[in-house]
Structure 1
Amino acid sequence: MWVQLRCGLEPRTLAALAVVLVGAAVFATAHFWSARPASVRAPEQVVEAAEARVTGPEAANGLLPGPPAEPGPSAGSSAMAVSGGRIVVDVSGKVRRPGIQHLPAGARVADALRAAGGVREGTDVTGLNRARILTDGEQVVVGLPVAQAVAGSSPAGGGGGSGAGQGGPAVPVSLTTATAEQLETLPGVGPVLAQHIIDYRAEHGGYRSVDELREVDGIGDRRFADLRPLVRP
C-alpha cells in the first residue's frame, strides 16, 4: 500500500513488479549456488595410471614419492651377462690341479691359482703377477725355470748354445706374462724393445692377439715376421 500510494501504481502494475523482483531473486540465488567451489574426483583410470607412474623406476631413483623398488642387478653384472660372463684359461706348471679352468670374466691370476688347487709348496712365484686380470684363452705357467719355460735347454753334451742363440725359444713366449729377461731371449729383442712390449701390455691390459705386436714401437713388418712363430698372446 505504501508503494502504491507513494508511486501511484496500479495494483496490476505493482503485482507484475513483485513477480519480476521475486524472479530476479530466484535467478541470483540459483546462479550463486551453481558457481560455488566443489571437489571433483578423478576418473578411475587416471588414478591407476598415476599410481603406476609413482611406483615405477622414477620412485626407485627418488624422483617421485612411492615405495622403494626391488633391488635389481647392478650395471657390472649386466655387462658380464652380455659378454658371456665366463672365460677359459689353462693353468700349468707347479700347481696341485693343472689343467683347464673356467672362471668368471674379470678374474685375476690369483683366482686361477686357487681354482687349480693352489701353488705347490716351495714354488717361487716372484715373477708372477697374481693381480693381473686374465683374458679368455690364455695360459698361466707357474714355477717353471726360465730355461724350461721360455728358451729351452740344450741337449746334454751337445755343446750348443742357448735357445735364443739357436734362433729363438723352444716354447713360445707369452706376451702377456713374460718378464723383460724372457722377452730378451727372442731374436732381435733387446732391453729397450722388451720394455716397449711390456709398456704396451700395461697400457692395454695384455695381448689378446699376436697381431697386436705390430703396434709396439720398434717392431716393423720384418721383425714381426721373425717373432710371430716364437710368441703367443
Structure 2
Amino acid sequence: MQTRCGLEPRALAALTVVLLVAACLAGGYFWTGRPEPVRAPEIVRAVPVAAAPDTRQGPGPEQGPGPEQGPGAVAGVPKVVVDVGGKVRRPGVLTLPAGSRVADALRAAGGAKPGADLTGINRARVLMDGEQVLVGLPGMAVGGSASGGGTDGPRTPLSLNVATVEQLDTLPGVGPVLAQHIVDHRAERGGFRSVAELREVNGIGERRFADLEPLVRP
C-alpha cells in the first residue's frame, strides 16, 4: 500500500489508526442497535375487596344487641302507658305500643281472673295514654242501682271509656239518650283522654258537667 499510494510510514500509521477507530465506532453502533429479548410484563393481580357487611341481618354472635333490639321497644316508636287493675292476674302499670287495644292490655296483665265480668268492657277499643282499665269492678258502690235508682253510699267514679249505656244512665241528669251520646262520642274520638272532654258531648252544658265531673273519670 505504501508503494502504490506513495505514503510515508507516518501517514500510513495515522490512516491505520483512523480506520481502526472508525471500525470500532461502527461495531459499537451496530452492537447497541442489535435486537434484545424483551421480558413479558408481570400480571398485576387485583387486591380482593373485603365484603361489605350485610346490613339486612342482625349483629353476629360476638356483637351485642343493636339499637333496635333488647328488652325495650324500638327507639322512636310511640307508646302508651295504661293502668290495668281489678280482677286481672297481674295488675299494674303497663307500657304498650301505640295503637294497642284493651284486649292487648288484658293479655299483658295476664288475662282476667276466672269469673270476672267483662260485659261492660269493649276489648276492641284503642287504648289512650294515661288511661285506666278496670276489670270486673262495678261502676258504682254496693247499693247503687243499675236501672237509674239512687244510692245512699258514695259512688265509685265511673269510667267514661268502659261504661255501658246502662251504667251511664245511672248518673244524675243523664238519661238513655244522653248516655248513648256519650258512648257515640267515645267511639268517634277513640275514647276520653280527660273528664274535661265530656263538655264536647252534645247535651252536656257547664251546669250538667259540674254535676258529673266528680262522678266520672277517663
Residue 128 of structure 1: aligned partner: 121
- SS of equivalent residue, structure 1 residue 150: coil
TM-score (norm 1): 0.57
Q: Distance in 1 between matches of 2:133 and 2:183?
A: 17
| Contact 1:164-1:186 at 8 Å conserved across structures | no
Distance 1:227 1:164, change over 3 A: farther
Q: Does 1:117 align with 2:110?
A: yes
Counterpart pick for 1:99 among 86, 92, 100: 92
Do residues 211 (structure 1) and 196 (structure 2) align? yes
Q: What amino acid maps onto 2:141 in structure 1?
A: G
* Cα pair distance change 1:229/1:143, threshold 3 Å: same
Equivalence for 1:151 = 140
CA drift at 1:123: 2.5
8 Å CA contact 2:88, 2:111 repeated in 1? yes
Q: Is the 8 A contact 1:172 1:231 kept in 2?
A: yes
1:195 counterpart (156, 180, 195): 180
Distance 2:140 2:89 in 1: 25
- Gapped regions of structure 1 (runs ≥ 5): 1-68, 71-79, 155-160
Once the two structures are superposed, what CA deviation does each residue of 1:196-216 show, in whole Å capped at 9, x if it has no partner? Answer: 111111111111111111111
CA shift at 1:121, angstroms? 2.2
Mapped partners of 1:191, 1:89: distance in 2:
29
Q: Is the 8 A contact 1:169 1:230 kept in 2?
A: no
Percent identical residues:
68
Q: 1:177-219: CA deviations, max 9, x gaps?
A: 1100110111000100000111111111111111111111111
Gaps of 5+ in 2: 1-54, 57-73
1:231–1:173: structure 2 CA closer, same or farther, 3 Å change rule? same
For residues 203 and 164 of structure 1, the distance between their equivalents in structure 2, rounded to whole angstroms, comes to: 29
Query: Any conservation in 1 of the 2:142–2:153 contact (CA below 8 Å)?
Result: no
Aligned length: 146
In structure 2, do the counterparts of structure 1 residues 143 and 85 end up closer, same or farther at CA, with 3 Å as the change threshold?
same
Matched-pair contact (CA < 8 Å) for 1:91–1:141? yes
Higher helix share: 1
Measure, in 1, the Cα distance between the counterparts of 2:215 and 2:120. 21
Query: Matched residue of 2:93: which SS?
Result: strand
User: Shift in Å at residue 95 of structure 1?
Assistant: 0.8
The whole-number CA distance in structure 2 between the counterparts of 1:231 and 1:194 is 13
CA distance change for structure 1 residues 94 and 218 in 2, over 3 Å: closer, same or farther? same
Shift of 1:153: 1.5
Answer yes or no: is the 8 Å Cα contact 2:85–2:135 preserved in 1: yes
Normalized against structure 2, the TM-score is what? 0.60
Could you tell me how far apart the structure 2 residues matched to 1:165 and 1:126 are? 22
Displacement of 1:141: 1.1
Q: How far apart are 1:168 and its partner, in Å?
A: 8.8
Instruction: Determine the structure 2 residue equivalent to 1:89.
Output: 82
Q: Judge conservation of contact 1:86–1:104 (CA < 8 Å) in 2.
A: yes
